[in-house]
Amino acid sequence: MHEALGQVSFDSEDLILVDSSDQVVGNAPKKAVHLPGGQLHRAFSIFIYADNHLVLLHKRSLDKPLWPDFWTNSCCSHPRTGESYEDAVQRRLGEELGIQTPLSRIYQFEYQANFETVGTEHELCAVYIGHLDRPIDITPHPNEISHWGWFDLEQVDQWVANKPEEFTPWFLMEWRALRNDHADKVTRLISNSA
């Protein structure tokens, strides 16, 4: 669960710099890697499904420096220096959503996106999914998340098609990949875990 709802993201936390093959090339503070232009670093995105046809999405807090008040996937962040992907994703689920559940890694991709003149995401992002038997109430961290909800998958498809400007750029790429390129794998995983 949340660590007494203290701060969970820090500009000074060391992130893992990598090349396009996910080989570690160094580390740098989070604020530095997100400056305009960006530095390629490890990241992850998590999608939590429930009841085979719902997905948990959230709106990023207004406190976020990049893409504040945009809708995005269930949870996302970065492994810190010396931290494995597996430890990082479970840590962040607890910090951001106040839950724990098994996760499966689906794929990894590299992207770069600029947010106005404020900064850049340049990430090698691993995408994970998890599944709950039923939608649950969560207690999101208020510094990270302003709104959240469970949405029908087809409802999200329509939302993305009609109002893509309401979503983070990485979410749009990930959603299309999960719904098209990896649909069979996702369906199998969320059906088998139900």
- What SS3 state is found at 166? helix
Active site residue 121: no
The active-site residue out of 95, 121, 123, 144 is 123
Task: Find, among 147, 148, 142, the residue nearest to 7 by Cα.
Answer: 142
Identify which of 166, 143, 162, 164 has the alpha carbon closest to the alpha carbon of residue 70: 166
Using CA atoms, how far apart are residues 123 and 108, in angstroms rounded to an integer? Answer: 10
Distance CA 118, CA 128 (A): 28
Q: Which of 76, 95, 121, 174 is catalytic?
A: 76
The CA distance from 123 to 94, in Å, is 22
- The residues, ordered by sequence, that sit 6+ positions from 157 with a Cβ below 8 Å of its Cβ are 179
Sign of CA dihedral 107, 182, 66, 96: negative
Q: Is 123 annotated as catalytic?
A: yes
Which residues are known catalytic residues?
76, 123
